[in-house]
Amino acid sequence: MSAPLHAVILAAGEGTRLGGAVPKVVTPLWGRPSAAYTLLAARSLDPARVIVVAGKRREFLDEALAPYGVSNEDIVQQDPARGTGDAVLTARSALAGRTGHLVVLYGDCPLVTPELLETLVAEHRSHAAVITLLTVSLADPTGYGRIVRDDGGLVAEIVEQADASATVREIDEVNTGVWVIDMPWAFEQLAQLGTDNAQGEVYLTDLAARARAEGLSVAAVRWHDPTDVVGFNTQAELGVVRRVLRQRILEGHAAAGVEIVDPDTTFIDAEVEIEPGARILPCTMIEGQTRIASGCEVGPFSHVRTGTVMEAGSAIGNFTETKKTTLGAGAKAKHLTYLGDAVVGPKSNIGAGTITANYDGTHKHATTIGAGVFVGSGTVIVAPAQIDDGATTGAGAILTGNSHVGPGEVWVGVPAKPLHKPEPSA
């Protein structure tokens, strides 16, 4: 049996250069917080535990990661943030009594892939090294820790930018921060590290020289694609990260059999589920917790917001916005429509210009539309409202609040009234 695996995600940095109101690691990237991407990549290794190191405003991380099943015991707090070495050490108590290997990741590197992590862990398991770290060569290595190799080509030490001589700064091979370390050894060593460096921090990177001084070896995997380990400190870098993630999301759907007619103008959030056989037309944005079944069509020019459920063969078209709305099988809302907090039954047709007025300035209210309903063009439905199976509204009808259109009834006018009552049965 191979030694157990654990992971720690460093997320205590504040990210002040982004200028955001939230800590950098909870920055939403296509609806998913940055640290959650890292978390999911770590979980692909099936580790015994994943510990997240939070900083000052820990409540942001608690909230952002709760939907991903991260509980209180999985988060440790490092305050003040005294460096990456200190951050890893903060996880020690949560991992007390455990042995094996520890994968170290940064919460602001959301592009790390399962393939990359598997490669690094396999390399670590196949060698006697106490550290296996991932490096890349960069055209501009400014700002990164440099990998200093000895005459035999082995990693001798890592020197941070702030501490580097002019010669060391010439080195283009840099530390990515993705590491696998022998856990009990690393915790023991980290506890002894000092802060005698330009930044006055406890550097995780100092472990490399430590290992060599003890006659232990440090392995390095040179990764071919620097994109996978890109972090973000500025809005410009964040833009790059977003672009790559967006591409990956679109490629994932395409590979699964979703037809995306124009990837250049299609924006799909990370948690959106789309079945194969759905068709996404250009200039479309699909957000949040949304599910789209096979045979559905979205777009062109649609804004599908969180909580939308499209059942088989339903369609949302031009300038239509949906939020927390279910469209039953075969239902259609093809033009100039807003549907919020609504349920639309199977085969119902929502005419051009239909609006659910779901917000009264204080509360949101629901609209329930049954099966086979024909909602005429320009209908305004002031919620709460109910339209039963087979009913019709005339063009321009305004259903005032608490309207209840009975089965098969036809309502028209402003305010909308039944056109004629069904014949009373004898």
Q: Which residues are catalytic?
A: 335
User: Can you point out the beta strands (E) in 272-393?
Assistant: 273-274, 279-280, 284-286, 291-292, 297-298, 302-304, 309-310, 315-327, 332-344, 349-350, 355-357, 367-369, 374-375, 380-382, 385-387, 392-393
Q: How far is the CB of 321 from ligand UD1 (least distance, A)?
A: 36
- Backbone phi, psi, residue 217, to 5°: -105, 155
Q: Which is nearer to ligand UD1, 160 or 388 (CB)?
A: 160
Following DSSP, what letter does each residue of 250-286 receive, concatenated?
HHHHHHTT-EES-GGGEEE-TT-EE-TT-EE-SSEEE
> What is the binding site for ligand UD1 (CB under 6 A)?
10-13, 53, 78, 81-84, 86-87, 106-108, 144-145, 158, 160, 174-177, 203-205, 231
Q: How far is the CB of 289 from Ca ion (least distance, A)?
A: 30
> Residue 333's Cα: distance from chain center in Å?
28
Residue whose beta carbon is closest to ligand UD1: 145
Q: Which is nearer to ligand UD1, 138 or 371 (CB)?
A: 138
Q: How far is the CB of 139 from ligand UD1 (least distance, A)?
A: 15
Number of residues that bind Ca ion (CB under 5 A): 1
Give CA–CA dist 51/70, Å, rounded: 9
Q: How far is the CB of 202 from ligand UD1 (least distance, A)?
A: 8
Q: How far is the CB of 41 from Ca ion (least distance, A)?
A: 17
Q: Which is nearer to ligand UD1, 99 or 199 (CB)?
A: 199
- Which of the choices Ca ion, ligand UD1, none does residue 84 contact, using the CB cut-off of 5 to 8 A by kind? ligand UD1
- Which of the choices ligand UD1, Ca ion, none does residue 394 contact, using the CB cut-off of 5 to 8 A by kind? none
Q: Which is nearer to Ca ion, 12 or 45 (CB)?
A: 12
- Which of the choices Ca ion, ligand UD1, none does residue 86 contact, using the CB cut-off of 5 to 8 A by kind? ligand UD1
Q: Which is nearer to ligand UD1, 14 or 275 (CB)?
A: 14
Give the chain's radius of gyration (CA, Å).
28
Q: Considering Cα of 261, then 263, then 264, then 268, what sign does the dihedral take?
A: positive
- Which of the choices Ca ion, ligand UD1, none does residue 375 contact, using the CB cut-off of 5 to 8 A by kind? none
Tokens of 307: 């909580």
Q: Contact region for Ca ion (CB under 5 A) — 193-201, 231-239, 364-372, 374-382?
A: 231-239
Q: How far is the CB of 269 from ligand UD1 (least distance, A)?
A: 23
Give CA–CA dist 411/379, Å, rounded: 10
CB atoms within 10 A of CB 8: 28
Q: Which is nearer to ligand UD1, 93 or 402 (CB)?
A: 93
Strand, coil or helix: what is 158? strand
> Residue 402's Cα: distance from chain center in Å?
38
Give CA–CA dist 211/223, Å, rounded: 22
Q: Which residues bind Ca ion (CB under 5 A)?
A: 231
